[in-house]
Amino acid sequence: MTWKIDVLMATAEVVAPVLAAGREIAARLTPETRKAILRVKGVLCTHPEYRRRFRSTDIYEAVLSGGVRTVPDWWTWLESRREAAL
């Protein structure tokens, strides 16, 4: 599977923080977290709520900061975030 990070191309002021975030994510990746992100994103990228209720960056955060390693873990993590926002 090809590794892809979504990037919006616009003015330098808009792109700079996006690129910085991408560099931060890349610096935190390990072989294990990279596999987990690809595994979870590989399933979720075709979900009808992808890019509506959640985005790639949410998946990266869930794996890198939330300990998510599986799709069921992902849904639990997402629901806990929703509950915390209420």
Q: What is the pLDDT of residues 14-30, one digit of tens each?
A: 878 888 988 999 999 99
Query: Tokens 């994103």 — which residue?
Result: 41
Contact 35, 45 (CB under 8 A): no
**pLDDT tens digit string along 72-85?**
999 999 999 888 87
Rounded to whole angstroms, the Cα distance separating 55 from 58 reads 5
Rounded to whole angstroms, the Cα distance separating 41 from 4 reads 10
77 Cβ partners below 8 Å, 6+ apart? 62, 66, 68
Angle, vertex CA 37, rays to CA 35 and CA 26, nearest 5: 90
pTM for this model (two decimals): 0.79
